[in-house]
Amino acid sequence: MKTAYELAMERLNQAAPAAKLTNAQKKQLAELDSTYAAKIAGREITLKDEIAKMAATGDSEKVEALQQQLTKERKSLQSELEEKKEQVRHPAE
């Protein structure tokens, strides 16, 4: 007997089968992950350093603004990464 999970996965695959990726696509996706991980890490290092400096001076408003900027930039880079990954997964759609 199949579990409810197995049945649901079968229905999902029938409705929208998973696309098979070529080795070139897998390599591109890995490169994108690596590139964007480096970009995100770079921005985090820079902004966290600035946050630490502002925290040392006691400027809580600037600290909060920099933390919000860090969150916004991280989300933006993640969104950009996902868009590029979709372009690799589904070219010319």
* Digitized pLDDT (tens) for each residue of the chain, 93 residues in all: 789 888 887 887 777 666 688 899 999 999 999 999 999 999 999 999 999 998 999 889 999 999 999 999 999 999 999 999 999 988 875
Per-domain residue ranges of the chain: 22-84
Q: Nearest-5° angle of CA 49, CA 51, CA 56?
A: 100
Pick from 89, 81, 92, 93: which is nearest to 22 by CA?
A: 89
Tokens of 75: 């989300």
DSSP letter (8 states) at residue 16? S
Give the chain's radius of gyration (CA, Å): 20
Tokens of 84: 């590029």
Tokens of 13: 């695959």
Predicted structure pTM score = 0.73
